[in-house]
Structure 1
């Protein structure tokens, strides 16, 4: 059989400018960069508000910033000056695509930028659909999820910036959709996305809004139980916690086989008058099921329990801290093609993921370090705008570029 020919990364040839901060927009830009786009991040001299965001190294370098800006180019300009704004506008016009979460006014408005590039594709992220500000943790507070997280009814605003992450992926999707439309019609457009709308769409798409309108009440917190099916966490002999999920009937039978408790588990149905062959029945009987299973886990280490469960085909996972993830989980190593070890300036040698997408015939590059702030300023001004060394020196002497 002839060997398959490999193709360049799918977004090779696409250039995107990013003027942003925090999580969602930088993640959207990095997602495109990891698929082959040239992404040029423009920051004010000294960095945007997220340039020193925690976590940081002992020297104060932002691990966060480096992690969200891999595979990009970085330039800095005095964006408060008319000359700096004009240079940024020229770069945006040359690229033809812009991602930003900055306000839609003045030089950065679509109306202004599209005068230079009529077919400009520009995606702007806002907090709320009316343009008012919001961040992930204020959006999440209103989502309903904190009220059903935990076990005692106290709202828990979890640490995962879920809406930022989802918005970042929507940003990449929106840019690609507009790029496809432009290639068909020759026309550009402004795309708007609100962080709170990402939350609302997700809550609606998962059925939570319709559940309230249909059933008239909200579910309460369940700890680590799985709503509407069977799932629970169990303490093991060595002080760890294992999460177990049995959704299908096959998985339910496998849980009984792995633990040797099939007969005892089967007795629960007639005692409680529930049908354990249904997800709803297992959910209703969850407390009794938990009571039967907990001693089995308490007599075994997490490693012993998960091996027996995995061998039987039971869905399971050990709860880990970030430290335990890095030190214990084989998936978080270079044995997984997702990861590459890179030398990140200002941070050190670290594991870095590339795009998790795996294409059959397209080769995606391994992760590449984030640039240091402003690293590519001179190169971009020369290659994109044709500025000479003398031009660049004069811009630097006037404070438009960092010295």
Structure 2
């Protein structure tokens, strides 16, 4: 946690991954992010993974360092109070529909400088999820080896959209500071997905070749890279991204003569051409399979580390959780025992490190309605009596 955004208050009304991620990143850099949910929790409040008591580990990690206000959003009064919180604050992150009671136009009627960042499925307002957008842009059909499409478990477009939304919020605030003008930034998952594919050259590639990229399994497109198995059955990914790494890898494995034989046979030189190494991978891979297969993992690791070659054994997430380099000795993590679930485990704080500033520990997620009374008092100026009446009427919820 860093206080780069100290003094910035943001209302978040959201669920699932992308929109909460945007609020999380702002909170990790010091913004006061106030998540407003339905009393009892929104649709993602009990999403898996969960503890034995059905507390969501997913929810409490995507909502760390935030505050929680619980309202009856099915009631006109509850919706009106959320609108007033947004107007009073001036910054709003949401994945609620563009039309309806949280439309930017409606909210900005009494707050012209409002900044709204709205995460959407499709740009036309149709719903979408990471897993449906991903297959729409084609990645599952160039993943794996086929014939079936291969989905991945990482919600990449949700996470990219959340990060882009946090950036968009700060960009829109900067513009407002310069001009006094508010704005709504709409960020559809579909646009993030297809735009990223275009940024990586994917659209130009298929249009230029008039064909889709072949499915390569674990081989890396356009580079020398693939998984190999050591003598003691450790599967390791090796990727060469520079010409020096290529030369060092060949030397470390004692393959100079064998590689030169392939070069002579094919009439090429691999020394300074990533693409040629990729194109002739079928002639090269067996050489490396044999050399790596003759070494134990420890032997291979020592050779490749000395050579400066990038590699990593395949590990389970359980193993990663017990890896000191990734977790135990990593300063982004701190012990957190105040989680709503009651389960104590390492919690991630800000993912960036600022050497010139002291990092504070990661904060827990709130309980549903934990800060309702505080925020309604400070943001809307309601008296304790007014708040008590709203609680008694069921319009406002508090943590129990």
Residue of structure 1 in register with 2:112 after alignment: 118
Residue of structure 2 in register with 1:359 after alignment: 354
Alpha-carbon distance between aligned partners in 2 of 1:306 and 1:371, rounded to the nearest angstrom: 44
Shift of residue 364, structure 1, vs aligned partner: 4.5
Residue of structure 2 in register with 1:304 after alignment: 299
- Segments of structure 2 that go 5 or more residues without pairing to the other structure are none
Shift of residue 314, structure 1, vs aligned partner: 0.5
Alpha-carbon distance between aligned partners in 1 of 2:44 and 2:84, rounded to the nearest angstrom: 24
Scaled by the length of structure 2, the TM-score of the pair is: 0.95
- Residues 351-392 of structure 1 show CA distances to partners (whole Å, capped at 9, x for unaligned) of 122222223434443311111222111121122222232222
Scaled by the length of structure 1, the TM-score of the pair is: 0.94
Q: Which residue of 42, 61, 80 maps to 2:36?
A: 42
1:73-84 equivalent positions in 2, closer than 5 A: 73-84=67-78
Distance 1:215 1:90, change over 3 A: same
Q: Are 2:382 and 1:392 equivalent residues in the alignment?
A: no
SS, match of residue 137 in structure 2: coil
Residue of structure 1 in register with 2:290 after alignment: 295
What is the alpha-carbon root mean square deviation over aligned residues? 1.5
Q: Is the 8 Å Cα contact of residues 45 and 78 (structure 1) preserved in structure 2?
A: yes
- Segments of structure 1 that go 5 or more residues without pairing to the other structure are 1-7
SS, match of residue 109 in structure 2: helix
Alpha-carbon distance between aligned partners in 2 of 1:307 and 1:82, rounded to the nearest angstrom: 66
Q: Is the 8 Å Cα contact of residues 35 and 364 (structure 1) preserved in structure 2?
A: no
Q: Which residue of 129, 148, 152 maps to 2:123?
A: 129
Q: Is the 8 Å Cα contact of residues 121 and 189 (structure 2) preserved in structure 1?
A: yes
Alpha-carbon distance between aligned partners in 1 of 2:32 and 2:296, rounded to the nearest angstrom: 48
Q: Is the 8 Å Cα contact of residues 68 and 370 (structure 2) preserved in structure 1?
A: yes
Shift of residue 13, structure 1, vs aligned partner: 1.0
SS, match of residue 106 in structure 1: coil
Residue of structure 2 in register with 1:315 after alignment: 310
Distance 1:271 1:337, change over 3 A: same
Q: Which residue of 68, 84, 89 maps to 1:90?
A: 84
Q: Is the 8 Å Cα contact of residues 21 and 159 (structure 2) preserved in structure 1?
A: yes
Alpha-carbon distance between aligned partners in 2 of 1:33 and 1:225, rounded to the nearest angstrom: 38
Q: Is the 8 Å Cα contact of residues 233 and 241 (structure 1) preserved in structure 2?
A: yes
Q: How many residues are paired up?
A: 395
Alpha-carbon distance between aligned partners in 2 of 1:363 and 1:175, rounded to the nearest angstrom: 25
1:157-196 equivalent positions in 2, closer than 5 A: 157-196=151-190
Q: Which residue of 225, 230, 241 maps to 2:224?
A: 230
Alpha-carbon distance between aligned partners in 1 of 2:200 and 2:180, rounded to the nearest angstrom: 36
Q: Is the 8 Å Cα contact of residues 69 and 397 (structure 2) preserved in structure 1?
A: no
